[in-house]
Amino acid sequence: MKSYETIKLEQPQEHTVLLTLNRPEVANAMNTQMGLDLLDAFDGFCAAPNAQRCIVVTGAGRVFCGGGDLKQRNGMTDEQWQDQHLIFERAIRAMIACPVPVIAAVNGAAYAGGLEMALCADFIYAVETARFALTEVTLGIMPGAGGTQNLPRAVGSRRAKEILLTGKPFSVQQAFEWGMVNRICKPESLLAETLETASVIAGNAPISTRQIKQSVNMGAGMDLHSAMMLEIEAYNRMVPTEDRREGVRAFNEKRKPVYRGR
């Protein structure tokens, strides 16, 4: 696994990458280098989707990510601020574009850019002590890493506008009830539960999981007729694959299939 200054990449189990935000001394705040590291890592995932079948993103220590590093930003010129934010934008776009399933394992507070990062994942598991907020409005700015787009898709536009316009934190229980968090975990079992789900995903045919993700994501912005056409195109991509034949063969032979991503 490639080494980075602000994030850590590991392979805790077969076909799974664990990406840890690794600035615990500053609540894993996003500085320029973290933006560059995330951009490089997710560009790599996008460029070689067969190299892994599931990606888990978590934070080191007791916080997932406290958002942008405001100490680094203090005193920046407008141009410097925008140059840095462009790096963050590119990293977020690379995360969203990643064809491989991504799970966020939120181990503590996820504020501002930290919550935006978690929302880029396909779904979220979080500890029972996790808290969330998009606080940008209280700082004279607004979310600029997908928060105004991904949050409404997770909780609905009216709930999202309340969160965005007040900047007030909300609990993991609220996040679960609103549909933003899929599972609430004990702190000591968060990673194990997330990796267990990642293992199930990684055990399925990787072309299938990538096509499903693309179909859901792209279809959400289409009318139903167009989305159904997109789904069939995605479906037809799998008919001539070895994995499709292996899946049917394994079912009839009453054994677990061995998928090879081709």
Ramachandran angles phi, psi of 188, nearest 5°? -75, -15
Set 10, 136, 188, 231: catalytic member: 136
What DSSP string describes 203-262? HS-HHHHHHHHHHHHHHTTS-HHHHHHHHHHHHHTTTTSHHHHHHHHHHHTTS-------
Tokens 């694959």 belong to: 241
Sheet with 102-106, side-by-side order of all strands:
7-13, 16-21, 54-59, 102-106, 123-127, 183-185
Tokens 């989305």 belong to: 227
Set 89, 116, 128, 188: catalytic member: 116
Annotation says 25 is catalytic? no
Distance, in Å, from the CA atom of 93 to the CA atom of 171, rounded to the nearest integer, reads 27
Tokens 């139903």 belong to: 224
| Alpha carbon of residue 211 to chain centroid | 17
How does 20-59 read in b/e, with b if 16+ C-beta sit within 10 Å?
A: bbbbeeebbbbbbbbbbbbbebbebbeeeeeebbbbbbbb
Annotation says 116 is catalytic? yes
| Catalytic positions, written as ranges | 116, 136
